[in-house]
Structure 1
């Protein structure tokens, strides 16, 4: 679709690159948002990127709305010609699937679910045509995920599965949102995965929980001392299934300040990914494992 520009009130410009999520739409949105940031347009006070769009806050006393629109449209032209390559990082996130805490929570809210007789994992496996929950978990953790935006709740990443569209896991949200979701729940709604950074209400299906904090406003967590939010758009996530013993050990390491998530700096080229998705994913995994 053609990029859509919409003004919100007197001081916001909303830029929508696509009405459906894709890595191509994300790359265009990210490139444009970075271009606006790099251009230093006078009057721009904030840039908020999303999955396939972004919003700019500006001071209309400094720049006229028509002028900022022209500036951003010029940046769009440059972004369309830019190479779809980013320097980013891949991180391994341990996940205790089918854990007791999300299980207890989801059982309290079955009347709000499409399938009151089963669990979220059983429902997700069935509607995605997997023979078992184990097969579903293997698919969920078997390919990397791309962080397309961070927000809605502080530090919460929205993640897009890096496989062909026909292989992507899709599960609808609850019929009615829950009033409770455990902190660090690994969830899924529509085509997006997420990790709940804090405890609170939510409507995404609950698959498991990670012992790894991703948001710490006190900045006492060892790897969050520089910045309270772990994720940033463009990060690549690889889930690693763990059991209860590994989960407890990781929680203990977090408490002691010794937990260090495996992270590697990588170069991601969208064109290479589109030519060979499985090969690119295998290469990314190899880099994460030091191969």
Structure 2
């Protein structure tokens, strides 16, 4: 894998690790951004990681652009040799699939959709070859997901499905973006799932909604008191399908500030994962549900 370096104006360097998203590309990107942070390079003011790339903002009055470029390329050599192991966490996220709120929203925007006669999840199930929405939900929630990037809007995670390429779900975005998306919608675009952290415009297909807050500027939510954004790149997510009764019960806990997601610390090895994807995922599930 050979990274592509380009300048973005006078104050940015953009590094594309690979054209296609992969866990290998993510690990190189993560290793490099961690190395830049640890190197504490004078003049670097911001580090912005993405799915298979990252961007560095710097002060050209402090460090010359060509000098920073050379330093980044040096760090890449070290990053590519780093052992692809991550000490991270796995999190269970409840999802109310086919909820009434995203359903009402998607029905208002059918003229912007590829199939105006089907719901978003019906369309996704059909084009991915699933015989029913229920089978599609089983596939979407059956394997864990890797948080490869957080951003676009504050707190929004992009999640990459941890299965082999042949089983990865792929769904195009709306033909034209919506002007409305309910807060905490679980969406899908391309090969990425996401959670809309705030209400607003969007173009991803809408599959359901989670009762779990993931962004709190006031930091009043118990598990967001240390930082207003819940997710970090490298987090692993397991969707848990819930029904309306379970959703309402979770909302009551959220309002009482007693809701607490199930979180377990795990060690993720990319080499072990590539050697046995399903076996690696099974071990992650064991860690998540071990009491």
Range into which the TM-score falls when normalised by the shorter chain: over 0.9
Secondary structure of the equivalent of 1:158?
A: strand
Render the CA deviation track for 1:217-242: whole Å, top value 9, x for unaligned.
01111111111000000000000000
Render the CA deviation track for 1:186-228: whole Å, top value 9, x for unaligned.
0000000000000000000000000001001011111111110
The alpha carbon displacement at 1:2 in A equals 1.6
Kindly report which structure 2 residues correspond to 1:39-50, keeping only aligned pairs within 5 A, or say none.
Answer: 39-50=39-50
Distance of 1:165 and 1:153 partners within structure 2? 28
Determine if the alignment matches structure 1 residue 101 to structure 2 residue 101: yes
Gaps of 5+ in 2: none
Secondary structure of the equivalent of 2:24?
A: helix
Secondary structure of the equivalent of 1:280?
A: helix
Distance of 1:35 and 1:94 partners within structure 2? 34
Distance of 2:151 and 2:77 partners within structure 1? 27
Determine if the alignment matches structure 1 residue 276 to structure 2 residue 276: yes
Determine if the alignment matches structure 1 residue 33 to structure 2 residue 48: no
Distance of 1:198 and 1:83 partners within structure 2? 36
Kindly report which structure 2 residues correspond to 1:35-184, keeping only aligned pairs within 5 A, or say none.
Answer: 35-184=35-184
Secondary structure of the equivalent of 1:197?
A: coil
Render the CA deviation track for 1:74-119: whole Å, top value 9, x for unaligned.
1000001100001100000000000000000000000000000010
The alpha carbon displacement at 1:167 in A equals 0.2
- Structure 1 segments of 4+ aligned residues over 4 angstroms from their partners: none
Distance of 1:282 and 1:107 partners within structure 2? 37
Distance of 1:80 and 1:27 partners within structure 2? 9
TM, length-normalised to structure 1: 0.99
Residue 247 (structure 2) aligns with: 247
The alpha carbon displacement at 1:125 in A equals 0.3
Secondary structure of the equivalent of 2:93?
A: strand
TM, length-normalised to structure 2: 0.99
Secondary structure of the equivalent of 2:197?
A: coil
Residue 209 (structure 2) aligns with: 209
Residue 235 (structure 1) aligns with: 235
Residue 221 (structure 2) aligns with: 221
Secondary structure of the equivalent of 1:92?
A: strand
Distance of 1:273 and 1:8 partners within structure 2? 35
The alpha carbon displacement at 1:279 in A equals 0.5
Secondary structure of the equivalent of 2:111?
A: helix
Render the CA deviation track for 1:219-267: whole Å, top value 9, x for unaligned.
1111111110000000000000000000000000011011000000110
Render the CA deviation track for 1:161-190: whole Å, top value 9, x for unaligned.
000011000000000000000000000000
Distance of 2:116 and 2:80 partners within structure 1? 47
Residue 258 (structure 1) aligns with: 258
Distance of 1:230 and 1:173 partners within structure 2? 25
Distance of 1:178 and 1:154 partners within structure 2? 19
The alpha carbon displacement at 1:276 in A equals 0.5
